[in-house]
A and B are shown apart, each in its own frame.
Chain A
Amino acid sequence: MKKLRAALRRLVGMFSAERREREFASEIEGHLEMHIDDNVRAGMTAEEARRYALVKLGGLEKTRQAYHDRGSVPFFETLMQDLSFAARQLWKNPGFTITAVLMLSLGIAGSVAIFAFVDAALLRPLPYPEPNGLVDVTESVAMFPHANLSYPDYLDWKRMNRSFRSFDVYRGTGYLLNTPSGIEPVAGEQVTDGFFHTLGIAPLLGRDFYLGEDLLSAPRTVILSYSAWQKRFSGRKDVVGQAVSLSGMPYTIVGVMPDSFEFAPRNNAEFWTTMHASSANGCDLRRSCHGLVGVARMKDGVTVAAALADMKAIAQQLERQYPDDNRGQGAVVQPLSELVVGDIRPILLLLLTGAGLLLLIACVNVASLLLVRSESRRKEIAVRGALGASPLRLARQFVTEGVLLVFGSNLLGLACAFFASRMLLRLIPKDMVVLHMPYLRDLGLNFHVMCFAAGIALLATAIFSLTPMVRLSFGEVQEGLTEGSRGSSGVLWRKIGANLTVLELATATVLLVGAGLLGKSFYHLLHVDLNFEPDHLSILSVALPDKTYAKDEQMVAARRQLLERISVLPGVVSAATTSTLPTTYNGNTEWIRFVGREYNGKHNEVNERDVTPNFFSTMKTRLIRGRFFVPDEDGTKPRVVIVNQAFVKQYFPNQDPLGTRIGDTALSPKSIKEIVGVVDDLREAALDEPILPAVYFPADQNPETYFNLIVRTTQDEKTLLPTLVATIHQFDAGIGTADETTMMMYINESQTAYLHRSSAWLVGGFAAIALPLGMIGLYGVIAYSVSQRTREIGVRMALGAQREIVQRMVLKEGGRLAVVGIVVGLVCSLAATLLLRSVLFGVQTWDLGTLGGVALLLAIAALLASYVPARRAASIDPMEALRSE
């Protein structure tokens, strides 16, 4: 305590040193005067009295020094001196300082910005208590390794498992909500009663769902998301207990979730309601209807692997028990974080690696700049050493300079990183952040990120203060005082510099190869065969209110009238609807069986879509055989289907499928349909997924209140959207519309396209910076080597060496470094691309074109970088060179 106070006062004392020393001077003056007075009184002469008083004081200067040291902190004082000297040194060399600081801050900004994402996404993805106990639980089938659960299976799993403390399921849903601006479709989530309890989050207001509140017999209750509470109910405290009408059904509000609550698997839900599993929802009681996702909290001490084994055993038992419905149904148990960030983890790690490599190149470049500088400062160092500065004192000076350089770059880098991460975040479509990446919401320079930046700073400081120190300890310090004795140390430096250049070129190679592969893969992704023409298509989703359109005929009539109204709008070529938009995903599948074929119970799983008659002509998808649907094909007509080529390839190799009939697994009479047409493989799945067999039903034979409208226009498809919405609301103000966009935007902003595009751009950016940095590094080494060998070259030329030979000699030196760097880099890239494998699409990791292209590009760059110093070497005037030494 006492010591702490003293230390603090010393530290503070550093800033008032001047005043204190002034006071001390007058105190000592008083002391001497009193002492002299006494001495004179004792009989000394004035001269004697003064001398004796000074002796007794122990020397004026020594006393002052002792007092000064006690008054401040000598260590810090020296530091301040070193710092101001270092700052002067850096200030005197603005070229070096600006280059070094810019390179470093660029490297730091890149890696810190990416790390901020890594931190938000990979280190803190689940904002729940004890997140490691939470697992994602679903079924799996051959076609979809991560499939959905059916409700009866869920109940059995919940009852039979021994691994979970609690186990709940959720499914996304939508409601039509009456708002002041009209009917609006809003996203909701249906959950079982213990859902929030399993996550470990309690409502901010009101209560959680009661046990049993998810049964059909329980009253309908809803918990609001914080944003819905704010937006729809102006954050009123008395909202709990009020009624709200969702799609015409009355619900009682029982709670409000806190603002911080998020559920990354599907975060846009405004209304959280309970399941109310019932036979009214055709799916709930069918074991073969899979629409749920499970989330569970494991018991203490249970591992994910143990839980998976447990679930697999139960799945096998159910398979034996219900062979018709559960054949081939396995189980998936994985950490919940895997579900949330599994897709972007490889990309983020890849980007972090890229940024790290860039930082490495920047550090190497700055280190070699420092080396060159320490070389040119040999004389200064030698003089200071000769004047009595200890090696430790000299080393400390270098460390101080390194610290100052890194500190400045770090500040600048952090500032840039802040803006870079904001910018990167803004590049992600906002919907995607809200819906799938809510954890990015509080992305920023938090404690973790600061620690990471501090780590980088520490490492960089170590490198930069060590480099010149190592360099100095190699040569005798005194050597620098004698002229022309730098031969041996020059060679040594060239070796270190050369190794650094090889490292740099190798790193640049890895980055370029990575960027090349990612770019190529993104190109492939955007050029996959869509088998439709995506331009000039406006799309939006439409939800008919269930109450008004309860019967099939009403839905059919409403859709027909809507399409009629839309197709006569100016600029509209044709309009159609589908149950699931193309390029969305593989899913919404059906299990089918062929009439007249032997059935082994196997699941023939196919994508199922309900489309209107002119859907394919609107999309401009080719008809291969048979016919399209005809306009009046509704429930009163024989049931028909159209299939895609993948379907024919899989189930009718070398046969004509037309006229064949398919049905459900039980071949129930009303499920039998006849294949009347074959269309091209219209891309239903996301861009990077395989094309599955697909079956198209006439929408009017299977009417739903929710569908996607697709309109082909001759005009700008975007400007048509407001007209479409207005037309629909004119028809019936109670119809909800949402997600208005264009097909091109839908494809380009899909998560798949976004992830590929962003990783390609970012790694490409890193590579684009790395290439010139590598060139600068190579140029620096060769140029320095030439400057060191001026005399040698002069002698060679004086002895008759041709200019071309000298030029070739220098080029050869650069070439050798470049070749070694590129070869090492190519070998490293082969290893590094293993990391890429999971994010590449349509490209092999050892794509010869990319590897060759990168090697060629780097070779040309290296040639350019060595050409300038080679020219300079060749133009050396032998007489000048010899005289100057």
Chain B
Amino acid sequence: MGEKADVWQGTLALMVLKTLEGLGSLHGYGIARRIEQISGDVLSLNYGTVYPALLKLEQEGAIVSEWGVSENNRKAKFYKLTRVGRKQLEQETNNWEQTTAILARFLHGTEDPA
């Protein structure tokens, strides 16, 4: 296993939103674990960075939170996507796909990939 990659600038929010879309309602620890798992343990994620990102998304109205009890009976704050959040996710996904497609074209030559 080589060196782990840091989370790319600006993608953490997208990953959080996508995670919440798939799993419905989840607490901060669960979100952090999920992101790391999905990355196949390639990403090095400080779990703590998830919290300011969650606060920012909440301030922007993309997610809402409420207190609940976790599967192993611990008190935790659960986050859930809002309509605004869904829209933001859709938009950012599109942007990201566009960006990667452009980069891919750069890296693999200018011909039509088809």
Contacts of B88 in A (CB 8 A): 2
Contacting pair B74 A6 (CB below 8 A): no
A30 close to B (CB within 8 Å)? yes
Contacts of B110 in A (CB 8 A): none
CB closest residue in chain B, given A71: B55
Q: A26–B75 Cα gap in the complex (Å)?
A: 8
Contacting pair A58 B48 (CB below 8 A): yes
Contacts of B60 in A (CB 8 A): 2-3, 5-6
Contacting pair B29 A34 (CB below 8 A): yes
Given known A-B contacts A30-B76, A58-B49, A67 and B55 have beta carbons under 8 A apart: yes
Contacting pair A30 B29 (CB below 8 A): yes
Q: A488–B33 Cα gap in the complex (Å)?
A: 65
Contacts of B33 in A (CB 8 A): 38
Point out the residue from B46, B56, B59, B76 that lies within 8 Å of A57, measured CB to CB: B46
Contacting pair B55 A34 (CB below 8 A): no
A877 close to B (CB within 8 Å)? no
Contacting pair A67 B51 (CB below 8 A): yes
Tell me the smallest distance from the CB of A517 to a CB of chain B, in Å: 65
Point out the residue from A5, A31, A58, A70 that lies within 8 Å of B76, measured CB to CB: A31
Q: A453–B51 Cα gap in the complex (Å)?
A: 45
Proximity string of chain A (257-276) to chain B, C-beta cutoff 8 Å, 1 when within and 0 when not: 00000000000000000000
Q: A132–B70 Cα gap in the complex (Å)?
A: 75
CB closest residue in chain B, given A28: B51
Q: A62–B49 Cα gap in the complex (Å)?
A: 9
Contacting pair B70 A34 (CB below 8 A): yes
A35 close to B (CB within 8 Å)? yes
Q: A66–B56 Cα gap in the complex (Å)?
A: 11
Contacts of A59 in B (CB 8 A): 48
Given known A-B contacts A5-B59, A5-B60, A30 and B52 have beta carbons under 8 A apart: no
Contacts of B51 in A (CB 8 A): 24, 27-28, 63, 66-67
Number of A-B contacts (CB under 8 A): 77
Q: How large is the interface on A (under 10, 10 to 19, 20 to 34, 35 or more residues)?
A: 20 to 34
B24 close to A (CB within 8 Å)? no
Q: A35–B30 Cα gap in the complex (Å)?
A: 9
Q: A24–B55 Cα gap in the complex (Å)?
A: 10
Q: A38–B37 Cα gap in the complex (Å)?
A: 14
Contacting pair B49 A27 (CB below 8 A): no
Contacts of A2 in B (CB 8 A): 60-61, 84, 88
Q: A10–B46 Cα gap in the complex (Å)?
A: 24
Q: A670–B47 Cα gap in the complex (Å)?
A: 115
Most chain A CB neighbours (cut-off 10 Å) among B59, B74, B77: B59
B27 close to A (CB within 8 Å)? yes
A286 close to B (CB within 8 Å)? no
Tell me the smallest distance from the CB of B78 to a CB of chain A, in Å: 10
CB closest residue in chain A, given B88: A2
B9 close to A (CB within 8 Å)? no
Tell me the smallest distance from the CB of B14 to a CB of chain A, in Å: 14
Contacting pair A67 B52 (CB below 8 A): yes
Point out the residue from B30, B55, B61, B74 that lies within 8 Å of A33, measured CB to CB: B74
Tell me the smallest distance from the CB of B41 to a CB of chain A, in Å: 12
Tell me the smallest distance from the CB of B29 to a CB of chain A, in Å: 4
A377 close to B (CB within 8 Å)? no
Contacting pair A6 B77 (CB below 8 A): no
Contacting pair A56 B47 (CB below 8 A): yes
Contacts of B76 in A (CB 8 A): 27, 30-31, 34
B72 close to A (CB within 8 Å)? yes
A37 close to B (CB within 8 Å)? yes
Contacts of B84 in A (CB 8 A): 2
Contacting pair B48 A30 (CB below 8 A): no
Proximity string of chain B (55-89) to chain A, C-beta cutoff 8 Å, 1 when within and 0 when not: 11001110000000010101111000000100010
Contacts of B47 in A (CB 8 A): 31, 35, 56-58
Contacts of A29 in B (CB 8 A): 75
Q: A56–B59 Cα gap in the complex (Å)?
A: 25
Contacting pair A63 B48 (CB below 8 A): yes
Q: A63–B52 Cα gap in the complex (Å)?
A: 8
Tell me the smallest distance from the CB of A30 to a CB of chain B, in Å: 4
Within 8 A of A (CB), among B15-46: 27-30, 33, 46
Q: A66–B61 Cα gap in the complex (Å)?
A: 20
Contacting pair A31 B72 (CB below 8 A): no
Contacting pair B59 A31 (CB below 8 A): no
A620 close to B (CB within 8 Å)? no
A69 close to B (CB within 8 Å)? yes
CB closest residue in chain B, given A24: B51
Contacting pair A10 B27 (CB below 8 A): no
CB closest residue in chain B, given A13: B59
Tell me the smallest distance from the CB of A39 to a CB of chain B, in Å: 12
Proximity string of chain A (1-17) to chain B, C-beta cutoff 8 Å, 1 when within and 0 when not: 01101100110010000
Contacting pair A6 B59 (CB below 8 A): yes
Q: A63–B48 Cα gap in the complex (Å)?
A: 5
Q: A70–B56 Cα gap in the complex (Å)?
A: 7
Q: A309–B31 Cα gap in the complex (Å)?
A: 85
CB closest residue in chain B, given A3: B60
Given known A-B contacts A27-B76, A31-B27, A37-B72, A9 and B46 have beta carbons under 8 A apart: no
Q: A5–B84 Cα gap in the complex (Å)?
A: 12
Point out the residue from A6, A26, A28, A56 that lies within 8 Å of B46, measured CB to CB: A56
Proximity string of chain A (37-63) to chain B, C-beta cutoff 8 Å, 1 when within and 0 when not: 110000000000000000011111011
Contacting pair A30 B55 (CB below 8 A): no
Point out the residue from A3, A6, A26, A66 that lies within 8 Å of B48, measured CB to CB: A66
CB closest residue in chain A, given B84: A2
Contacting pair B52 A70 (CB below 8 A): yes
Q: A742–B51 Cα gap in the complex (Å)?
A: 84
Contacting pair B49 A66 (CB below 8 A): yes
Q: A566–B59 Cα gap in the complex (Å)?
A: 87
Tell me the smallest distance from the CB of A40 to a CB of chain B, in Å: 11
Q: A35–B31 Cα gap in the complex (Å)?
A: 12
Contacts of B29 in A (CB 8 A): 30-31, 34-35
Given known A-B contacts A2-B60, A6-B60, A31 and B49 have beta carbons under 8 A apart: no
Tell me the smallest distance from the CB of B83 to a CB of chain A, in Å: 13
Q: A387–B70 Cα gap in the complex (Å)?
A: 47
CB closest residue in chain B, given A30: B76
Contacting pair A5 B56 (CB below 8 A): no
Contacts of B70 in A (CB 8 A): 30, 34
Contacts of B30 in A (CB 8 A): 34
Q: A31–B46 Cα gap in the complex (Å)?
A: 13
Contacting pair B52 A10 (CB below 8 A): no
Q: A35–B52 Cα gap in the complex (Å)?
A: 19
Q: A57–B29 Cα gap in the complex (Å)?
A: 10
Q: A60–B52 Cα gap in the complex (Å)?
A: 13
Q: A70–B59 Cα gap in the complex (Å)?
A: 10
Q: A859–B94 Cα gap in the complex (Å)?
A: 81
Point out the residue from A9, A24, A30 that lies within 8 Å of B74, measured CB to CB: A30
Tell me the smallest distance from the CB of A74 to a CB of chain B, in Å: 13
Contacting pair A66 B52 (CB below 8 A): yes
Q: A29–B75 Cα gap in the complex (Å)?
A: 9
Given known A-B contacts A30-B29, A58-B46, A66-B49, A10 and B59 have beta carbons under 8 A apart: yes
Within 8 A of B (CB), among A68-87: 69-71
Contacts of A70 in B (CB 8 A): 52, 55-56, 59
Tell me the smallest distance from the CB of B45 to a CB of chain A, in Å: 8
CB closest residue in chain A, given B62: A2
Q: A186–B60 Cα gap in the complex (Å)?
A: 68
Can you identify 28 A-B contacts, CB atoms within 8 angstroms? A2-B61, A5-B59, A6-B59, A6-B60, A10-B59, A26-B75, A27-B51, A27-B76, A29-B75, A30-B75, A30-B76, A30-B77, A31-B47, A31-B76, A33-B74, A34-B29, A34-B30, A37-B72, A38-B33, A57-B46, A58-B46, A58-B48, A63-B51, A66-B48, A66-B52, A67-B55, A70-B55, A70-B59
Beyond A27-B77, A34-B74, A71-B55, list 19 extra A-B contacts (CB 8 Å): A2-B84, A2-B88, A6-B59, A6-B60, A30-B74, A30-B75, A30-B77, A31-B29, A31-B47, A33-B74, A34-B29, A34-B30, A34-B70, A37-B72, A58-B49, A67-B55, A70-B52, A70-B55, A70-B56
Closest 8 CB pairs of A and B: A58-B46, A63-B48, A58-B48, A70-B52, A6-B59, A30-B76, A31-B29, A9-B59
